[in-house]
Amino acid sequence: MAARFEGKRGLVLGVANKRSIAWAIAQRLAAEGAELAFTFQGERIERSVRDLAATVDSPLVTSCDVRSDEELERVFGEVAERFDGGLDLLVHSVAYAAAEDLEGRFVDTPRERFWLAVDVSAYSLVAAARAAEPLFEARGGGSIVTMTYLGGERAVPHYNVMGVAKATLDASVRYLAWDLGEQNVRVNAVSAGPVRTLAARSIAGFPTMEAIVEERAPLHRHISADDVGAAAAFLLSDEAANVTGTTFYVDSGFHSMGM
């Protein structure tokens, strides 16, 4: 495999375990030469993230609460210290909504949990991009990839407030692409079909989502985290040098169907 990321340095936000989409992306980047730092949220998954990061010889694994600007400033300070002041790649695979808001009616979402979902799932990209900007500038540019889903464009039963958060994320990608383009920083999103991750388990009716995609998508098959990793690696690579502000669909073509 060609070493597209030889000499590149990246930060991965959002690995929880070996089934995480963020981990599939990280494996692909590391296999092609990237040096990667990782963050984790909370002691519960710290050991898992540290163990995975060790398999790709990560020089930095640190905690991060993406709701805190101070935490993000500390994290990117640590990244700058470890990576000689520069950064080439940023993977944002962070999302959260309360489990009870992914099984009832969207209209019943309380105000505080609405803003929690938007803060963690969408604003965290904005905050991370702002913190990363000077590190990208030090390297003459860079690339950001985030994870979105069709539920931000269309109503998906039970996806509820997470769909609203993803819609906010999608718009943020476009505005960040405009703001950061002058610094040669590209910002894109991958919209994946249903993948069996830890986060997916919290969505009521997830098996039904999988079955519908298999039935109605043009390719009539599921996707894997590795499929998403390959797409994200392309968007992060120099092969996508003129691709920014876009959403790249990896869903067996389901997004293209009307019924």
Q: Which residues are catalytic?
A: 149, 159
- How large is the average pLDDT for residues 34-40? 98
- Please give the structure tokens belonging to residue 126: 């904005």
pLDDT at position 1 is 52
pLDDT at position 196 is 67
The Cα 110–Cα 108 span in angstroms is 6
Q: How many CB atoms lie within 10 A of CB 207?
A: 11
Q: How many CB atoms lie within 10 A of CB 26?
A: 28
- For residue 41, pLDDT over 70 is answered with yes
pLDDT band at 46 (very low <50, low <70, confident <90, very high): very high
pLDDT at position 200 is 57
Which tens digit of pLDDT belongs to each residue from 192-251?
998 866 565 556 666 777 788 889 999 998 899 999 999 999 999 999 999 999 999 999
- For residue 58, pLDDT over 90 is answered with yes
Dihedral in degrees, nearest 10, Cα atoms 45, 48, 53, 56: -150
Coil, strand or helix at 15:
coil
Q: State pTM to two decimals.
A: 0.94
- For residue 39, pLDDT over 90 is answered with yes
- Please give the structure tokens belonging to residue 20: 């995480």
Q: How big is the chain, counted in residues?
A: 259
Beta strands in the chain (DSSP E): 9-13, 35-40, 60-63, 89-92, 142-148, 185-192, 247-250
Strands 35-40 and 247-250: unpaired
What is the rounded average pLDDT for all residues in the chain? 94
Residue type, position 169, single letter:
L
What is the set of domains in the chain, with CATH numbers?
A: 9-251 (3.40.50.720)
pLDDT at position 208 is 78
Provide the edge-to-edge strand list for the sheet that holds 185-192: 60-63, 35-40, 9-13, 89-92, 142-148, 185-192, 247-250
pLDDT at position 204 is 61
- How large is the average pLDDT for residues 178-201? 87
- Please give the structure tokens belonging to residue 54: 């060790």
- How large is the average pLDDT for residues 167-183? 98
- Please give the structure tokens belonging to residue 194: 């249903």
- For residue 89, pLDDT over 60 is answered with yes
pLDDT at position 48 is 96
- How large is the average pLDDT for residues 90-115? 96
- How large is the average pLDDT for residues 21-50? 97
Which tens digit of pLDDT belongs to each residue from 2-15?
699 999 999 999 99
- How large is the average pLDDT for residues 73-99? 97
Q: φ and ψ at 108, to 5 degrees?
A: -90, 5
